[in-house]
Amino acid sequence: MNPIRSGRIRKRLIWLALAIAVIVPIGAAAASPLLAWRDPIYIAAGFAGVFAMAVLLVQPLLAAGYLPGLDGAGGRYAHRWIGGVLVAAVAVHVAGLWITSPPDVIDALLFRSPTPFSAWGVIAMWAVFATGLVAVLRRRFRPRSWRLLHTFLALVVVVGSIVHALLIQGTMETITKVVLCTMVLAATVKVVADLWRRTSRAG
């Protein structure tokens, strides 16, 4: 096969696989019978959380330049903008839950909720907001210090979000949720390891 054509097919397959990985869990959540008894605001809040989980799969791939057509500066630019989208999605998720049940959100924020997933969700939320703030203030840090802090916060976001999602028995379908969380963790670990090796060689 022609190498150019083979490369194009490979690129299309990568994007197709990513699209399936993102769309299937969202579609499965949309088909959940639990939505029939929920208010529209609660449903919107829930899907903001599902969307945020999908974004967590894309973010490390963009940061490392693994997506065809979005490598190098283009990938980093998209990573920054989608990071802003992630912050907005988490804000919508929390705001929607606040509107539907303020006492539950207050208990979660004060770490006194009886449901374990709440604490992990709050940890992930603050880590997302901190990551966004650190990104905005990037020029105030030394490059190496910024990378270490950004990577640490990203790991907290990923671990907190995965545990939060897995502990919830809600809108997301179980199998697709587990698969998505596994892919998010695998992508994050792979990218962090690769970037760490690159930094070590450069240093």
- What's residue 194's pLDDT? 87
Whole-number pLDDT of residue 156: 97
Question: pLDDT, tens digit, for every residue of 174-197?
Answer: 999 999 999 999 999 999 998 777
CB half-sphere exposure, 61, CA atoms < 13 A: 19
Q: Whole domain around residue 18: which residue ranges?
A: 3-202
Q: What tokens appear for 75 in the block? A: 């990938």
- Cα angle, residue 19 at apex, residues 59 and 136 outer, rounded to 5°: 20
- The CA R_g of the chain, rounded to the nearest whole Å, is 18
Average pLDDT for runs of 10 along the chain of length 203: 70 93 94 84 93 95 90 86 96 95 93 92 97 92 89 96 92 93 96 80 59
- CATH at 56: 1.20.950
> What pLDDT, on the 0 to 100 scale, is given for residue 203?
55
For every residue of the chain, DSSP letters joined together read --HHHHHHHHHHHHHHHHHHHHHHHHHHHHT-GGGGGS-HHHHHHHHHHHHHHHHHHHHHHHHHT-STT--HHHHHHHHHHHHHHHHHHHHHHHHHHHHH-HHHHHHHHTT--SSHHHHHHHHHHHHHHHHHHHHHTGGGS-HHHHHHHHHHHHHHHHHHHHHHHHH--SSS-HHHHHHHHHHHHHHHHHHHHHHHHHHHHH-
Structure tokens given for 52 = 């945020």
CA 197 to chain centroid: 23
Give residue-wise pLDDT tens across range 70-81: 877 888 899 999
**Count of the separate structural domains present in the chain:** 1
Distance CA 203, CA 198 (A): 9
pTM, rounded to two decimals: 0.91
